[in-house]
Homo-oligomer: A and B are copies of this chain.
Amino acid sequence: MFEAAELGRTFSVQDYREEVPLLREQLLQLQDELRDANFSVIILFHGVDGAGKGETVNLLNAWMDPRGIVTRAFGNPSDEEQERPEFWRFWRELPPKGRIALFLSSWYSRPILDRVYNLAETATFDRRLNRILAFERMLVEDGTLLIKCWMHLGKKAQKGRLKSLEKDPLTRWRITQTDWKHFNLYDRFIDASEHALHKTATGETPWTIIEGYDSNYREITVGRTVRDAIRRHLEQSKQRDWQAQSTPTQGFISIRAGNNASRTVLSHLDMSLTTDNREDYKEHLEQLQGKLNLLFRRAKQQRYSLVVVFEGWDAAGKGGTIRRVTAALDARDYQVISIAAPTDEERAHHYLWRFWRYLPRTGRVTIFDRSWYGRVLVERIEGFTPESTWMRAYSEITDFEEQLYEHNILVVKFWLHITQEEQLRRFEERKTTPYKHYKLTEEDWRNREKWDLYDFSVNDMVERTSTRFARWTLIEANDKRYARIRVLKTLCDRLETVVTA
């Protein structure tokens, strides 16, 4: 795979001097067009030490307008990063639309090095590469242009380069013990890297292997690669936007053509379920809150954390239920995130970005009052998002939740279900009770008219995203007290499955 990058390619000084001004002009022009484009650019630099990764990053900052460029180098994760799933640190640094990010040692570094140092089995290595594939596909499908550069040097060339850097007092600092340690593992490193590149070079996210031997050659090649990729992506993106405009979003029904079933997961619920008398409820509630508290503190000690998602009909009682849950927790341990319209920073990123932001640290709880499922509910139903986009959200979501699960973040998801009659009763009550009035909006009435569409969408959602690691629990919530008890009980049950006594 790397043979073609060990040919000692060079680029003459004269040609270099001729090409650079033109290349810079083109890059700047493209960067200017990019500013208003609907996508971001991420350029990864990986490769052999001494092949000029850092220099290339400095170079691109010099050639282009640094105001549109973000440079990040991912070293050892901080404790805040370690307390989240591995990809959290990458999510937090993803560039907004219209910007370019240059990433040194990104998501490939740890998997490759762990393999080189024998800290990970081949199977683990492959699993991590699959995760990378899914992550990159998700970015690309969101419109991101991902350019992956592998800066290469043959073994001899690397040795020569390290030595010459070491000899020069001005560059000596660049060479550390680690570099020589890596050099001694050159062959292992190349093996693991080749495997990684091989597995992750897809049609949409190919690797560009760049020989790092001659700096003129390297710089021109990187410059051209970046130029051509951005140019092509800008053109394609205009086409894509044009296509999206000329194919109006289909609205809901099309994707459920021929559907003859009014039977959904919701229609199967027994909506007559209630608690017994009021006194029992109070006692039962307090008992469960005490139990939840105990279990969560134990989970905390065992370094678990908790993500709780509440979805449900308007007026299904999410707020009241959340308060019964938080009452059982220490105010220092939880945050409730209510999902409304995104901020402009959020809008300039992948739609999952705003949820990654709020993932709990180890031993903490984040409760989402509405969540990423808006993508496959309101956005689908209102036609805010094209079908292909919300269709792929199901797997993006399950990937996301799997990452939480693997990081010992327990994901518990509730759909609070009420009947149409009960909803009407509650709307009327909200109209007349002054301190509940604020809860009722025009939108609630509009949503109500789309009951059946929601019903189907919820069915699809449960079908496609109820997984072993993040099961949905549907709650019969016509009786609020019953619903609260069920939610608390479910939380206790789920905690009990992971917490050891």
Contact = CB atoms under 8 A, between A and B. Distances in A.
B173 A294 contact: yes
B344 A67 contact: no
Contacts of A340: 67
A66 interface: yes
Q: Per DSSP, are chain A's interface residues mostly helix, strand or loop, or mixed?
A: helix
A25 interface: yes
Given A28-B438, A323-B61, A67 B369 contact: yes
Contact of A435 (B24, B72, B319): B24
A203 interface: no
Nearest to A169: B290
Contact of A326 (B61, B80, B326, B344): B61
Given A78-B78, A369-B67, A54 B332 contact: yes
A79 interface: yes
Contacts of A70: 335
**A interface bracket (residues with beta carbon within 8 Å of B):** 35 or more
A452 B25 CA distance: 34
Interface string A308-345: 00000000000100110011001111111010100111
A136 to B, nearest CB: 22
Given A58-B331, A104-B331, A331-B57, A338 B67 contact: yes
Contacts of A173: 293-294, 297
A73 interface: yes
Interface string A371-385: 000000000000000
A1 interface: no
A170 B326 CA distance: 14
B79 A78 contact: yes
Given A24-B435, A67-B369, A170-B286, A75 B332 contact: yes
25 contacts: A24-B435, A25-B434, A25-B435, A54-B330, A54-B332, A61-B326, A62-B327, A65-B438, A66-B336, A66-B338, A67-B338, A67-B369, A71-B334, A71-B336, A72-B335, A73-B332, A75-B332, A78-B80, A80-B80, A104-B331, A170-B286, A170-B287, A170-B290, A170-B293, A343-B344
